[in-house]
């Protein structure tokens, strides 16, 4: 049995959190369904700190104050639970100075050629690192959950039923 590993992009988290202006009713439903299925089958879910920062930035753009507060609290509570319990996702670690230099070199390669952002470059690196180190066997499949086709094209293992919204 193949066990999926998902490195989650901001676009999926915006749908999961139903962030106004950054989500649609149809995509919210599909992304939430995918998270439910992932939990049921024991998939591994990873979120990077830069992705959390991007999501927080989108939450800060929500025009209505009460909704902004509700989403901010939901993000805080979800991250705190993840830190304490490793659920609903695992947080990807901070990186060293040398790793930052390498990351920026890869960004310079990806950005002009493919239009991939620095945060997306981090997701690509993390997905490839997980595939090469922690989830090497054939029983694992490492994917990037995103609605961005350019980023999805860089995932280590192609996801057969990808949702790009």
Domain of residue 118 covers: 3-152
> Can you give the pTM of this predicted structure?
0.80
Domain count, the chain: 1
70 is a domain residue: yes
74 is a domain residue: yes
pLDDT tens-place string over residues 68-124: 999 999 999 999 999 889 889 999 876 777 887 888 888 888 888 888 888 999 999
164 is a domain residue: no
165 is a domain residue: no
Please count the other Cβ atoms lying within 10 Å of the Cβ belonging to residue 2. 11
* CATH code (residue 68): 3.40.50.1010
Confidence at residue 79, expressed as pLDDT on a 0 to 100 scale = 92
Cα separation, 164 vs 138, in Å, equals 25
Helix (H, G, I), strand (E, B) or coil at 15: helix
162 is a domain residue: no
pLDDT tens-place string over residues 149-165: 999 999 999 999 999 98
Q: Rounded to the nearest 5 degrees, what angle is found at the Cα of 23, between the Cα atoms of 155 and 119?
A: 40
Cα separation, 10 vs 114, in Å, equals 18
157 is a domain residue: no
Length of the chain: 165
143 is a domain residue: yes
């Amino acid at each position: 049995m193949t066990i999926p590993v998902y490195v989650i992009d901001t676009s999926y988290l915006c749908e999961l959190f139903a962030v106004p202006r950054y989500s649609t009713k149809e995509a919210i439903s599909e992304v939430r369904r995918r998270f439910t299925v992932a939990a049921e089958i024991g998939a591994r879910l990873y979120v990077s700190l830069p992705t959390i920062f991007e999501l927080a930035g989108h939450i800060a753009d929500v025009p209505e104050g009460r909704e902004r507060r509700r989403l901010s609290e939901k993000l805080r509570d979800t991250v705190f639970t993840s830190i304490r319990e490793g659920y609903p996702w695992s947080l990807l670690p901070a990186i060293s100075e040398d790793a930052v230099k390498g990351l920026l070199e890869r960004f310079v390669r990806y950005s002009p050629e493919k239009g991939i952002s620095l945060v997306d470059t981090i997701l690509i690196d993390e997905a490839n690192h997980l595939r090469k180190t922690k989830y090497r066997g054939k029983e694992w499949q490492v994917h990037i959950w995103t609605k961005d086709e350019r980023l999805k094209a860089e995932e280590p293992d192609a996801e057969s039923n990808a949702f790009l919204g």
